[in-house]
Structure 1
Amino acid sequence: MSGEFSFIRSHLAPLSAGFPGALTLTDDAAILPGPSGLDYVIASDMLVEEVHFHADTPPEIIAARALGTNLSDLAAMGAEPVAWLSSLALGEACDTAWQGAFASACQDIQHEHGLHLIGGDTTRTPGPLTVSLTLIGQMPQGTAITRSGGQVGDEVWVSGELGEGVLGRIAYETHGVGSAPNRFTHPTARLSLGQALRGIATALIDISDGLVADLDHLARASGVALDIGAELVPLSETGRSEAGEPDTRPWRRLVCGGDDYELAFLAPVDHREAIMAISAALDVRLTPIGQARTGQGVRVHNAAGHLIKFETTGFTHF
């Protein structure tokens, strides 16, 4: 079987031909021109039982992951959330109590972000529970930040600290749903940061599959190579204590594990002062970790300049 992204490039991307806002399916969202000087951003994502969560996962966590990961796709274009659609395939276990808990959790999240549910579909299934959401965002016309605008010489930046996503997933898989809420069970989209980066970042992506894999998507779309300093990659305190030195297996697992939902972006060097001002205003750590060069792909090197090799750079569905 071909890989997930190979399938998208080879078979699905040609179906988007003739619609510029589809961005040849290189981004996780599409752009639709709207009225009154607005652009709409449309993002869709799906969670499937026993692929993205276990059968005994509480509906509150499923709702948090479904909406949180979709909101992160809007953040990765600099969009402001507006509305959402919900398509659910419910199994026998999704009784009235389950439905009420799921809806209540969704209500809390949509209230936090000013969202409104505007439609969707609900059906029964003899198979796994499936949750497919479509998020709609908006922004001033022409201000969307795609993955394809990066230029040679741009700096590579990342928000926050990485590693908590994969550590949360390990805790969830090891200790089950009784483990404390974490970045895996309750993803937090960097919406304010994405909006603040409009006009500053040249290319933007959220870190869902893993830093190296997602930077490779950014590099491929922008037609550049990205040189990354391993020692510059910001890990959480827990991550640093477990990862050891770069190029160890634990370090590579944290860097490539995904589920962090931080933002990685490219920006011209002369925008560094503006970026640090955003960091201070939003109280979000923003760290430069490398630079865009001529070429293709992502090269991660240690302090001695030796390239780090990865068995896998991030998550893929097949």
Structure 2
Amino acid sequence: MGGPADGGGSGEDRLIARFFRPIAGAGALGLLDDAALLSPPEGCDLVLTKDAVVAGVHFFADDPPASVAKKALRVNLSDLAAKGAAPLGALLAIALPKGTGDAWIEAFAAGLGADAALHGCPILGGDTVATPGPVTITITALGAVPKGGFVPRTGARPGQAILISGTIGDAALGLKLRLGPRDAPFGDLDAGGRSHLLDRYLHPQPRLALAPALRAHAAAAMDVSDGLAGDLAKMLAASGCGGTLDARLVPLSAAAATVTGGRADMLKAALTGGDDYEILACVPQAAVPAFIAAAARAGVPVAVIGETQAGEGLDVIGPDGAPLDLGAGSYSHF
């Protein structure tokens, strides 16, 4: 993402100089070089993650560009949080259809810069290209975790508690609301409830504050991007054990509870829909009280929703106490 200091040269150089150089962090070297320079904190391991968001897949083409920027950054910060890491910086690659106006880019850059500052994740560089297709944004986030503190997806063992942060299903229901605002399930929602669901889809909340508690107490963790049930099944399979998820214990917001009440299809959407970006963790039973207390001190609510077990697969208990079949359990791109 480097370019001439005066902003001259190609259209890409002008775009970088005008919109992205002002939001770049110190390690970006003013976006005047082909690479950034970063010194990881002493005694820490680097944690790296990359996620892409695509118009028409992860966000609507008419979403506010500042919101698109925030979502692109936050889905990556959520991965760092789940590993117990703190952000160090991010690299941005953005593919823009020809004719994208300066107003869109300016708003995108402003939103990205504000969110990078908010979460302590400076923009270090990247690339800007044109595309005949939809807007595509890829961010590589870099984080640091004290040596030995990385929280893997593979550490769960039978007999551990399964916990989730925040509330589940808001984003998936927000997407359904966006697609069908007059659909019957949303008829009982007031304006506040509608706004809550729509915002949770548009603006994920990365649980960076939970990272220290995860490092101290969790055996395994991952963020929920593709759906609670499916992502939990992935973590259990990676760890070589099974588990039980009790839908009666899954925390729901007031809006989600209104939509899912008595509606099996909406409950399934909440448990299997993506974009929650909450943190799933498997915690030894003896450490559960300390983990919950540490999370509370960090301002992040967590709830026990099940238990790991010997064997394979995920059993789901429904609202009536009977087994609940959720099918695939999560969103899949392929």
Which structure has the greater CA radius of gyration? 2
Q: Distance in 2 between matches of 1:73 and 1:43?
A: 7
CA contact (8 A) 2:52 2:137 kept: yes
**Out of 79, 87, 92, which is 2:93 matched to?**
87
**Out of 185, 208, 213, which is 1:196 matched to?**
213
Paired position in structure 2 for 1:151: 157
CA contact (8 A) 2:59 2:202 kept: no
RMSD of the alignment, in Å?
Answer: 1.9
Provide Cα deviations, 1:112-162, integer angstroms capped at 9, x if missing partner. Answer: 011211121111111111111100010111101011011111110111111
Q: Distance in 2 between matches of 1:68 and 1:108?
A: 12
- Aligned length in residues: 282
Q: Distance in 1 between matches of 2:124 and 2:174?
A: 32
Query: After the TM superposition, which residues 36-47 of structure 1 pair with which residues of structure 2 at under 5 Å, given as runs?
Result: 36-47=42-53
- Structure 1 residue 281 and structure 2 residue 297: aligned? yes
For structure 1, the 5+ residue unaligned runs are: 1-32
Query: After the TM superposition, which residues 129-144 of structure 1 pair with which residues of structure 2 at under 5 Å, given as runs?
Result: 129-144=135-150
CA contact (8 A) 1:80 1:195 kept: no
Q: Distance in 2 between matches of 1:51 and 1:93?
A: 21
SS in 2 for 1:199: helix
User: CA 1:316/1:303 → structure 2, altered by over 3 Å: closer, same or farther?
Assistant: closer
Shift of 1:306: 2.5
Percentage identity across aligned positions? 37
Paired position in structure 2 for 1:252: 268
User: CA 1:156/1:54 → structure 2, altered by over 3 Å: closer, same or farther?
Assistant: same
Letter in 2 for 1:210: G
Q: Distance in 1 between matches of 2:274 and 2:73?
A: 17
Paired position in structure 2 for 1:290: 306
Paired position in structure 2 for 1:264: 280
Q: Distance in 1 between matches of 2:312 and 2:251?
A: 24
Q: Distance in 2 between matches of 1:120 and 1:283?
A: 33
Paired position in structure 2 for 1:311: 327
- Structure 1 residue 185 and structure 2 residue 191: aligned? no
Task: Extract structure 1 runs of 4+ deviating beyond 6 A.
Answer: none
Shift of 1:294: 0.6
User: CA 1:303/1:104 → structure 2, altered by over 3 Å: closer, same or farther?
Assistant: closer
Provide Cα deviations, 1:74-108, integer angstroms capped at 9, x if missing partner. Answer: 11101101100001111124221111111100010
**Out of 41, 63, 79, which is 2:69 matched to?**
63
Letter in 1 for 2:202: T
Q: Distance in 1 between matches of 2:240 and 2:157?
A: 8
CA contact (8 A) 2:207 2:300 kept: no
Letter in 2 for 1:120: G
SS in 1 for 2:47: strand
- Structure 1 residue 78 and structure 2 residue 84: aligned? yes
TM-score (norm 1): 0.84
